Each structure stands twice: as structure tokens, then as C-alpha cells.
A and B are shown apart, each in its own frame.
Chain A
């Protein structure tokens, strides 16, 4: 997927004026937040689970090489193959090679954010393959020719009316707007595709080192059909998705469903180990796992390691006021919201995604709901620091900071300037009591009045008064 993060400001502006988008966002946000809160309230050990999960993730990351080797050994033992991809291009090439070798024509896909990250769909289509997204949300945006705007609800930016229009155009009339009818229509359209598929590609919520299994959760069962009915199953996953045991995976599963969709558990949790065995009733002939690095080992070695704890639940974006205001497309790449504002600059470049770490109020709500306790605001601030030290921060802003430092580290000068500013503003606002336009403060007065200060600062008054007494 092409990077558009440098267009953040213009995309955000467009999003704020898009009434359908605003309607869709309002509805989605209220649903996600309320459902999660209800689940958390019912599980008294939720906080303890978060702490345990964060610690377990840190342990895994500390020994990631070891767990990945164990995982590879177990996959091989089960008759599968592990492929290591350093970056997106390598991952695409590995998957295209498998598709070519098995003479694939049709590829079905379960939802996989890593496949978006490596730009897989475009590459498959360019190679002449027919690609069918089977997750309802992914199916909708495939019809619309758009990118996902949310990591667990890719079409969350669409209203029901817009989906009805897309389905009418794709499936023919009559136009239906009931959700159950829309789900049925998608199911009808997709059912046959599963059987035609030569290759089924899914993500992997967790990779189990002890058994060599991949584990996925879905609410539609589409992932199961994708991976069971195709001749070849390919799992795409980031290297950080490995967990030691199936038992460990259950800890994350309890947190994932509650944090993501506000369910106790997702409808389908499917573990898949190797290709079809002799006595299996169904399953693929080949089983491949493409482990994608794409900047992750760099993150592992540096100050952003905590980001690799992420289990992709989307709670941070569901609770982010900025995401709630502008939606996911404004962020300009695969991962939006707080987690995306950390990942995108780290994977694609601090300069190309300059706005993402900065377009955040540091309100901390994301970190307070993160099931693996990623200190997202701290990481965003560290990215700002990295941008500053690499001189990516705009020159004007760096100049302003330098000037601020000169003044703020000299209390006499700072206080004198505040006294001058107080007098000027007080005079400007004397007539009306409010300031509608202030030179140099356009960003503020664009939509707000500036309170008129008293003509004398607190320090001035205080010391004057105390000296009197």
C-alpha cells in the first residue's frame, strides 16, 4: 500500500468535512467504547491480566530469536514451511513464488494487516491472480477500491447506506439496507469463491512455538474457510506474533476479544497446524508461514521495543479522540490511530510520516486501555525527540523552541516579556473584553477567542502586594 502519511493535514481536513464519515465514526466509537467498558467491568482480574500480558510479551521479546527457532522447528515437524522475509518486497516475492509454483489462479484472503503492510493485493493482481477478500469489512472496501481505515473493522468508515449502494452495484438489485440482508448477500457472493481458491492467505493472531500452529480469531468464520478449503494455505505474520505455548495464547485471547470488539471471546478461534494429514477430513495440501520482519528487529533493538507487544486489538484507536475525529484514512497508511502513529514512522520513515507522532494531544487514553500496556504517548514523544534530533522538525518550529529556551531560562527576561505581553493584550482587548484576532496567534484565534488578560501578571501583583504588607 502506498504511503500517504505526508498528506495527513489535508486528509484530516477533508475527513472533518465528510458528513457520512463523521456519522460512521460517531456510531462506531460509541459502540466500541461502551462494549469494551461493559466487558472490563465484568472481569475483576482484567487489570491483572493486562499486567501479566505485558510481562509475558516482554519476556517473549527478550528471547524472540529463541522462540522463533522453536516455532520454525515445530512447523517443519508438522510438515509445514517457514519463510523469512526481511522486508515487504521479499515477502511479496516469496508469496508470488509459491502461487506461481502451484499454478494458482484464484487467491482467497482472510483479514491480514500484514498483507496490507507488504502491499500483497496489488502484487497478486499485477501477477494476474484473482484476489477475493473474504472478511466482510475487507470485502466491502475491496468493492469500493479503498484501503482499510481500522485494523479490526476495515470498513468502519462506511455507513450502512454506502454499503447498500456498493452491494447493489456489485450484486444487482434490489437494494437492501438491513444489516442481516447485507451479511447474507456477502455470504452468497463469497461462498463459491472458497471452493475455487488455489491459495488461501490468512494472517496469524498468534504463532505457537510449542506446536508450530497458527491461531486466528474471526467473527464470520471466513478465515476457517479460507485456510481449510484452498489447496495451499499461506500465513502472513510479523515476527513478534510468536508465543511460547497454547496456554500462553489463552491469556492474550481473553484480553484481545474484550479490548477489540467488547466480546468475551470472538465467535471463531481456529488453530491450524501444518498441511492436511492422512486421516484428516479436510485441510490444505501445503502449509506455509511467511514471517515478516520489515523493521521489527530494528524496533526490537532500540527504544521502541514496547511497540512490539501490540496484539492488534484496535482499542487505542477506538479510544483516541483524534482518530474519532478524522478516521483512519487520514493517517495515510495501513496502521492508523495511536499504534499506527508509532509504527508508520518506524517502518516507513520519521520524515515521511512527520505529522503522525505530532498530531496527538498526549491525553493518554490509548495507553490506559491498551491490553498489553504499551506506553503509547511516551513512544510518540520519543519519536518527536528523534525527529527533533534528526532536524526533521520544521526549521520554524526549531527556531521558536530555541527562542523560547533563551527566554524561559532567564526568569527576569521571561517575566519582563510576560508583563509586556499582558499590557499589549489587555489594551487590545480593553474595549470588547475578548480578543478575536491576535497577531502571531492565528492557530488559536482561527476558531476561539483569546481571553483578555489583566494588565498585570500574577507575579507582578503578588510581589507588589507582599512588599506592601
Chain B
């Protein structure tokens, strides 16, 4: 360890599967925020998915296999950080439960859970950052994703960071804590119900008069953006990390592909 790296935490970046495929920009934004905050960032190759598709479908055995993979890939780091309340809630709460009958793995799951953080809560609660120094021109509204909100208590952290963004005005929507209808595979298993929920959400978003919707989970954002595009409603949709990192400059989610890299 060199002098300059001493005291700088080694962070393993958790690459959510949706982000990896649909919105690499969120990964770059997360990396930028963490590196600017002084973290030494590593992106482990041995990761794929947190395992929720299995866990939420009742396939605990497959979920356990994925959880072991994540534990092995990340336990060497000081922290695991990812831009998703959903994946992080799973790592923090579900992993220890999955190994209830295997004490050795349970201890490792608990150790990983204790150092795993959703991005905005890591920045605010762990690193004590209140400003990211970016600029975003627009009136935004913020959707609280359920897993982050109720699973991890994420409510104030993204708002605190957004308050430091120059040019940005936050206008809260009604029922911001109500589900958007994504729910993982729920959205494709029960599409009609899911569409009713997202239409209710969109009504609340539009009622604010904001021009941009922000959130902390790409699943929810794809659900709302996908519906907005289908209904030809003009509204920019970005992950909060993109705005905080000053990388919300290209097309927003669902408005066309971003140039890679």
C-alpha cells in the first residue's frame, strides 16, 4: 500500500444486471462519484446478478448459489457499493436469511451485508459527502423505490445530494412512496396490473409539472420510462447517479441509445 492510498477505502462496484445491459452510463456515473470521493474502485469480473430473480420466485437454492458467488467476489473489499436499493436490500437482508442453516456461510453473508451500501447512502451516511459539485438544469421529481425506502431507509440521502446540484429544483410528487408496479418479474407476469400502477405513478409525476423524473433503481426507471415512451409523453428519466455525477447529458432512459464508453 502506498502512502497516497492509505486510508482510501477499496470499494468493489456491484454492477447490477439491468445497468450492465441497458444503461452503462449509470455504472460510469457511480464509478466517477466513488473515485471523486476518494475510493479505490475495483469492478470484479466474477459477478453477474444478486440472485433476486431466484429468491423472489421461490427458488432459494439458486438464490443461494448466486449469493455465494457475490460473497466470494466481494468479501475481500472494504465495501461493496452499487447503484440500486433493490439489489443492495437483497444483499443486506436476504443473504443472511438464505444461510440460516449454514453457520459458516451465514457469518460470511453477515460480514458482507455489514459493509454493503447503496450508492447514495454510502456517499452520505458512510463518506459524509453533501455535495457532488455537478450541475443539472431542470425541475425534477424523485420516485422512492420501495426496496431502498423500506428495506434500507433511503429517503433523505438522495434528496440531500440533489439539494447541492446547481440549477436543479426538486418538486415532490404525491404518493412518492407508492410502488411503480415494476416488482421484478411481477411486471411481466401480471402486466395489466403493473401498467395500472405505473399509470397511477405517471399521473402523480406529471401533476408536479417537473420535466425530469429521477430515482435510484433502474428497474423502476425502465418501467416508468418505458410506459412514458409508449404513451408518447415527454419527460426525461435519469438515474440519480447520472445527475449527481454530471453525466445526465445524453439521451435520457428510453430516449435512444447512449454512445458506449
Q: Give A residues with C-beta under 8 Å from B.
A: 9, 12-13, 16, 321-322, 325-326, 358-365, 367-368, 381, 383-389, 393, 397-398, 401-402, 404-405, 407-409, 411, 414-415, 418, 421-422, 426, 429-430, 433-434, 436, 441, 443-444, 446-465
Contacts and interface: CB of A to CB of B under 8 A. Distances in A.
Contact of B54 (A405, A430, A452): A405
Contacts of B96: none
Interface string B17-45: 10111111011100100000000000101
Nearest 4 Cβ contacts at the A-B interface:
A361-B183, A443-B188, A433-B256, A448-B226
Interface stretch (B62-70, B122-130, B161-169): B62-70
Interface stretch (B106-114, B131-139, B205-213, B247-255): B247-255
A363 B146 contact: yes
A388 B59 contact: yes
Contact of B24 (A322, A389, A449, A461): A461
B59 A401 contact: yes
Interface string B226-261: 110110000000000000000000010111111111
B255 A433 contact: yes
24 contacts: A12-B190, A12-B192, A322-B197, A358-B189, A361-B186, A362-B56, A362-B184, A384-B56, A384-B57, A385-B59, A385-B60, A398-B59, A401-B53, A405-B59, A405-B62, A421-B21, A434-B254, A444-B226, A446-B195, A447-B191, A454-B257, A458-B28, A461-B261, A463-B43
B55 interface: yes
B226 A450 contact: yes
Contacts of A447: 191-192, 194-195, 227, 230
Given A365-B179, A408-B66, A441-B188, A388 B57 contact: yes
B254 to A, nearest CB: 4
Interface centre among A321, A362, A458 (most CB of B within 10 A): A458
Contacts of A12: 190, 192-193
Interface residues of B, number: 73
Contacts of B26: 458
B121 interface: no
A24 to B, nearest CB: 15
B11 to A, nearest CB: 14
Contacts of A381: 55-56, 58
Contacts of A16: 192-193, 196
A415 B230 contact: no
B185 to A, nearest CB: 9
Contacts, number: 217
A409 B59 contact: no
A409 B66 contact: yes
B46 interface: yes
Question: For A321, A325, A364, A398, which residue has the most chain B Cβ atoms within 10 angstroms?
Answer: A321
B59 A321 contact: no
A456 B54 contact: no
A47 to B, nearest CB: 14
Contact of A444 (B146, B191, B259): B191
B27 A458 contact: yes
B48 A325 contact: no
B261 A456 contact: yes
Nearest to B251: A433
B65 A361 contact: no
A199 B221 CA distance: 57
Contact of A458 (B20, B45, B66, B69): B20
A453 B57 contact: no
Given A411-B46, A443-B191, A458-B27, A418 B54 contact: no
B189 A13 contact: no
A430 to B, nearest CB: 8
Contact of B183 (A363, A367, A411, A446): A363
B57 A411 contact: no
B13 to A, nearest CB: 9
A450 B18 CA distance: 12
Given A13-B192, A454-B259, A458-B20, A404 B45 contact: no
B258 A321 contact: no
A407 B53 CA distance: 13
B216 interface: no
Contacts of B227: 447-448
B257 A408 contact: no
A326 B193 contact: yes
B225 interface: yes
Nearest to A413: B48
B189 to A, nearest CB: 7
A462 B48 contact: no
Contact of B45 (A367, A455, A459): A459
Nearest to B69: A409
A10 to B, nearest CB: 11
A451 B179 contact: no
Contacts of A461: 24, 28, 260-261
Given A411-B48, A434-B256, A459 B43 contact: yes
Given A409-B65, A414-B48, A452-B256, A457 B21 contact: yes
Contacts of B187: 443-444
A328 to B, nearest CB: 14
A13 to B, nearest CB: 6
A321 B178 contact: yes
B62 A365 contact: no
B230 A448 contact: yes
A335 to B, nearest CB: 19
B9 interface: no
Contacts of B256: 429, 433-434, 452
A454 B191 contact: no
Contact of B186 (A359, A365, A454): A359
A362 B51 CA distance: 15
